[in-house]
Amino acid sequence: MQTLDLAKVELREVNSTLHAQKEDTNQTSWEVVNPKGSHAIAVGLDAPIEVTIMGSTGYYCGGMNKQATINVKGSVGPGAAENMMSGALIVDGDASQYAGATGHGGLLVIKGNASSRCGISMKGIDIVVHGNIGHMSAFMAQSGNLVVCGDAGDALGDSCYEARIFVRGSVKSLGADCEKKEMRVEHIEILKDLLERSGCDAKPEEFTRYGSARNLYNFDVDNAAAY
């Protein structure tokens, strides 16, 4: 285990050290201590390494991650795992706004609650929130899976495209063009896999699936009020 102490070194050194790890590095286990809410920790990683951040972080923790598995022993600020391509970000605590925004791939697990706009414009990422999520989550979500084990706030899935949204609890309201969908066998399989990989003991059958009604896919003046 290699340790990087943000009380002793600058953010630049932390990230450049992690960036220097190549595909075949034998230093696969890293620990970042004293994060104290710093922004942009472990961003742009591109190696199959495991990084554990011992505390809470500021904005964009794990942004644009590829391959790495990043664990946060605390909560994360806005935009955690934004535009993640692959790998994983696992947050023990809560997440602020825009968690997983525009993510293309990989797995984001939030063991607490996630604030508003979780999964905004997601493009293939899988997000599992053990708790609740805030309003406007999965806004304009393009693809991937958003799994919510608790409740969802207002305007869930507004203007979403082909992303799948699974909610176990209540949904305060659905956004424009988002509707309840049939839960088919393949969806149960997707959920089963995601719940297992994210360490959640909920049962797939307890969830309801939501997705795009596809009424706003091509402009129609009769839908103008929904745009």
Partner 1 sequence: MKTHNKSGIPYTLPRQSATFTNEVNSEIRRAAATGIYDIRGGGAKRRVPNFDDLLFLGASISRYPLEGYREKCETNVTLGTRFAKKPIEIDIPITIAGMSFGALSGPAKEALGRGADAAGTSTTTGDGGMTPEERGHSSKLVYQYLPSRYGMNPDDLRKADAIEIVVGQGAKPGGGGMLLGQKISDRVAEMRNLPKGIDQRSACRHPDWTGPDDLEIKILELREITNWQVPIYVKVAGARPYYDTTLAVKSGADVVVLDGMQGGTAATQDVFIEHVGQPTLAIVRPAVQALQDLGMHRKVQLVLSGGIRSGADVAKAMALGADAVAIGTAALIALGDNDPRFEAEYNKLGTTAGAYDDWHEGQDPAGITTQDPELMARFDPVEGGRRLKNYLKVMTLEAQTIARACGKNHLHNLEPEDLVALTVESAAMAGVPLSGTSWIPGAG
Structure-token pair, residue 112 = 């607490």
Q: With binding defined as CB under 8 A, does residue 102 bind partner 1?
A: yes
Q: Which is nearer to partner 1, 99 or 149 (CB)?
A: 99
SS (H, E, C) 123-171: EEEEEEECCCECCCCCCCCCEEEEEECCCECCCECCCCCCCEEEECCCE
Please report how close the Cβ of residue 54 comes to partner 1 at its closest, in angstroms: 19
Binders of partner 1 among 22-51, rule CB under 8 A? 39-40, 43-44, 46
- What is the per-residue DSSP string for 158-204? TT--S-EEEESS-BS-B-TTEEEE---HHHHHHHHHHHHHTT----G
Among 32, 72, 90, 120, binds partner 1 (CB under 8 A): 120
Residue (162 or 179) nearer to partner 1, CB: 162
Contacting positions for partner 1 (CB under 8 A)? 11-12, 15-16, 19, 39-40, 43-44, 46, 58-60, 63-64, 66, 78-79, 82-83, 85, 97-98, 101-102, 104, 117, 120-121, 123-124, 139-140, 142-143, 159, 161-162, 217-219, 221
